[in-house]
Amino acid sequence: MYDIIIIGGGPAGLTAALYALRASKKVLIIEKGGFGGQITFSPKVENFPGDISVSGSELADRLVEQVLSQGAEVELANVTGITDNTTYKTVKTENGSFECSAVIIATGAKHRMLGLPGENKLVGEGISFCAVCDGAFYRDKDVAVVGGGNTALQDALLLSEGCSSVTMIQNLPFLTGEKKLIEQLERHSNISVLYEAAVIGLEEKDGSLSGIRLRSTSGKESILHVNAMFVAIGLIPANEAFSDLINLNENGYIISGEDTLSNVPGIFAAGDCRTKSVRQVTTACADGAVAALSAVNYIDQNISKIRRVS
């Protein structure tokens, strides 16, 4: 029987574990793959407080080492669901079930990819999903942004401040983002848009992205030479296993505010898996801290009260 089970070993889950452990709670972290989450795809992280520059994988290793030194237990397994037994929760995995007083869901979200040959290999070597994180590495260079929604528009605007040119690639004959963002885009001379075009292949040189192959709806193919491609075609939250218990919004995110509370008492959501406007490693860590303290408070007040009554 654990006090808190944390589902997910990214920055949100690891920070939650740290705070829960420091509150003298027995903690189990269940992670289905590698620790660190999406941050491990970033070769350089320069916006994490206290580090001028650190690789995403190194940052993840430090977080894991820290929570293990505090006494966290770890289980490598895929979570298939949660049962709410009121006074305790059962977290079900493919390897068995675990019981606890409170659960923190920190499963994150993965970026939608284009599904091109060699795409995975070039992530961090010219392919990025975060203009805020990686845009500064391509100052005075030519870049592309794939997508036409609000995220793509915001990425293009941000990149235009430092890059020589920004080419947006949109598979539709129009942009789908907000009108105000489109109007801002039109005022930047170094931003251009290729409509009705799709990325069909990648060019690389010395292990890094050097260009992208495009095909228009008319069938015409071309190569756009760029130093980086920022993919902004959406995120996929990993919350399917909880949909029968936890309220999700239309996009599959756990409905939860800054207090990290879900609709089920004793179950909290932290990081990219919940509804929020900013998804950065620092906000994930903040969520983890809030979720852990909320879970500790829930256990100390509610569970202790239930035990006294019984």
Residue 100 is among the residues annotated as catalytic for this protein: no
C-alpha angle with apex 287: 98 to 303, nearest 5 degrees?
45
The encoded tokens of residue 180 equal 């105000």
Q: What residue type is 293 in one-letter code? A: L
Two tokens, residue 70: 């505090």
The span from the CA of 175 to the CA of 147, in Å, is: 8
Of 284, 289, 243, nearest to 262 by C-alpha is: 243
Instruction: Tell me which of 100, 130, 163, 273 is the catalytic residue.
Output: 130
Query: Which residues, in sequence order, are bridge partners of residue 32?
Result: none
163 is catalytic: no
Residue 133 bears catalytic tag = yes
Type of residue at 178: E
Decide: residue 289, CB within 10 A, 0-12 exposed, 13-18 middle, 19+ buried: middle
152 burial type by CB count under 10 A (0-12 exposed, 13-18 middle, 19+ buried): buried
> In whole angstroms, what is the distance from residue 226 CA to residue 211 CA?
5
Catalytic residue among 3, 100, 134, 285: 134
Four-point Cα dihedral 179, 256, 280, 180, nearest 10: 10
Catalytic-role residue among 3, 51, 61, 133: 133
Rounded Cα distance, 177 and 131, in Å: 17
Q: Is beta strand 73-76 parallel, antiparallel or unpaired with respect to 27-31?
A: parallel
Give the C-alpha separation, 165 to 140, whole Å.
8
> In whole angstroms, what is the distance from residue 18 CA to residue 26 CA?
11
Please identify every residue annotated as catalytic. Answer: 130, 133-134
